[in-house]
């Protein structure tokens, strides 16, 4: 049995989350890593099994998975106040910096050099986003292989159909998500007795 | 004129029906453009700024909030991405009871598929920004390749892309 540190005070919890938020550049992978290092390895407040269980709940929750994870860990370590200080620590410093960077950008956006740099950066974010989509798709495709050709084909058709109806028909995103849930319940329910594929950590972006 | 309440509700709606940091983009894109409250370029700009700032990637909407509606917009966007996360408390209370029903798994699979499709529309939106030409598409392909290799830090990839942009379009 590992010895765990005494429960954190509010201020300590805030500081830990703030340092996680401020150190995570380039999205989810590094953030998940920092959370594991702080809460599992350093202070031993959570076991890895517990962490995975919380993470699976976050995948099922709307919005940013990492923010939901902040809520769950905050609640476990400090109750309602734990949630408040954890959210404040994770979001306020990094959101402030994001906002200030945008303010700075507004000041210099008219410069030709800035426009040129941005014309390079924007398509690059498109390429990175494509990888995010691929990371999301991989566990689904793997599951499709296991379940058979029809399952894989059905899954691919739904992915492409969702993309096309939004781009071409400008159909509302909510209608698309709800229809996909309905189709999923209709076509994929009987087959999957295996538990939900556990996403690899760090896929949340 | 922007109506602050409707503006906030649009951000909240986009966040409630998304999973992960970027899947709220298609909904925001549809609604803000339709209302004339955002310009096409704002989306590419805010995603680019979101990529270089610390914190979860989902914070790009803070940048979109500032670009479209100043400090108030950034603040409303922050509230809108915080509220849905609190639903995890409801999920953790209720999920244990229904997780074994077959239709829940099927529906979750359907939602995951929709999320992938919606992310493809994000890629489409970003690559259809004004000013993205064939060289831009090459930059996108290069960034994808470097990110796929997982050997190069995202910030370095963006730095290289910025340098390429500077040399090409200056």
Q: Give the model confidence (pLDDT) of B116-164 as tens digits.
A: 898 899 899 889 888 889 999 999 999 999 988 878 877 888 899 999 9
What is the total residue count of chain B? Answer: 170
Query: Is the ipTM beyond the 0.90 threshold?
Result: no
Q: CB of A199 within 8 A of CB of A57?
A: no
A9-53 pLDDT, tens digit each: 899 999 999 999 998 776 656 788 789 889 988 899 998 888 888
Please indicate if any CB of chain B lies within 8 Å of the CB of A112.
yes
Note the pLDDT of residue A204.
Answer: 40
Angle at B9 between CA A104 and CA B22, to 5 degrees: 55
B54-95 pLDDT, tens digit each: 888 899 999 999 999 999 999 999 999 999 999 999 988 887
Show residues of chain B in contact with A177, CB under 8 Å. Answer: 17, 111, 114-115, 118
Q: Among A47-51, A67-71, B164-168, which is the least confidently predicted range?
A: A47-51
Q: Which of residues 166-205 of A touch B (CB under 8 A)?
A: 166-167, 170, 172-174, 176-177, 179-190, 192-193, 196, 204-205
Over residues A105-118, the mean pLDDT reads 92
Nearest-Cα distance to chain A for B88, in Å, is 5
CA dihedral A162, A166, A172, A175 (to 10 degrees): -10
B62 with A102: Cβ contact below 8 A: yes
Q: C-alpha distances in angstroms, B159 versus A78, A128, B127?
A: 40, 13, 18
Choose among B46, B127, B166: nearest Cβ to A126: B127
Looking at per-residue confidence, does A101 or B109 come out higher? Answer: A101
Residues B6 and B17: their CA atoms lie apart, in Å, by 16
Note the pLDDT of residue A192.
Answer: 46
Residue A201: pLDDT band with limits 50, 70, 90? very low
Note the pLDDT of residue A205.
Answer: 38
CB pairs under 8 A between A and B: 376
Widest pairwise Cα distance in chain A: 61
């Amino acid at each position: 049995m590992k010895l765990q540190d005494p429960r954190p005070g509010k201020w300590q919890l805030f500081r830990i989350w703030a340092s996680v938020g401020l150190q995570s550049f380039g999205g989810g992978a590094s953030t998940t890593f920092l959370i594991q290092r702080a809460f599992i390895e350093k202070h031993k407040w959570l076991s890895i099994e517990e962490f995975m269980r919380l993470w699976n709940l976050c995948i099922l929750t709307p919005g940013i998975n990492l923010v939901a994870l902040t809520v769950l860990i905050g609640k476990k370590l400090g109750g309602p106040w734990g949630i408040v200080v954890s959210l404040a620590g994770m979001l306020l410093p990094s959101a402030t910096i994001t906002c200030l960077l945008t303010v700075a950008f507004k000041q210099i956006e008219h410069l030709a050099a800035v426009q040129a740099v941005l014309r390079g950066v924007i398509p690059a974010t498109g390429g990175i986003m494509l990888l995010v989509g691929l990371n999301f798709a991989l566990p689904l495709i793997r599951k499709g292989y296991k379940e058979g050709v029809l399952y894989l084909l059905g899954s691919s058709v739904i992915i492409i159909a969702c993309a096309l109806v939004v781009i071409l028909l400008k159909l509302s995103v909510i209608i698309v998500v709800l229809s996909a849930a309905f189709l999923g319940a209709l076509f994929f329910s009987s087959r999957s007795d295996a538990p939900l594929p556990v996403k690899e950590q760090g896929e949340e972006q | 004129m922007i109506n602050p309440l409707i503006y906030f509700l649009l951000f909240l709606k986009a966040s409630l029906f998304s999973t992960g940091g970027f899947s709220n983009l298609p909904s925001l894109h549809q609604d803000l453009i339709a209302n004339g409250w955002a310009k096409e370029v704002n989306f590419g700009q805010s995603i680019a700024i979101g990529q270089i700032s610390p914190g979860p990637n989902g914070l790009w909407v803070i940048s979109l909030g500032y670009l479209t509606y100043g400090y108030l917009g950034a603040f409303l966007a922050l509230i809108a991405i915080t509220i849905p996360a609190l639903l995890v408390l409801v999920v953790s209370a209720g999920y244990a009871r229904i997780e074994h029903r077959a239709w829940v798994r099927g529906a979750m699979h359907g939602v995951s598929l929709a999320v992938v499709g919606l992310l493809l529309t994000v890629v489409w939106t970003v690559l259809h920004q004004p000013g993205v030409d064939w060289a831009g598409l090459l930059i996108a392909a290069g960034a994808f390749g470097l990110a796929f290799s997982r050997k190069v830090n995202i910030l370095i990839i963006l730095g290289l892309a910025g340098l390429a942009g500077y040399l090409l379009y200056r």
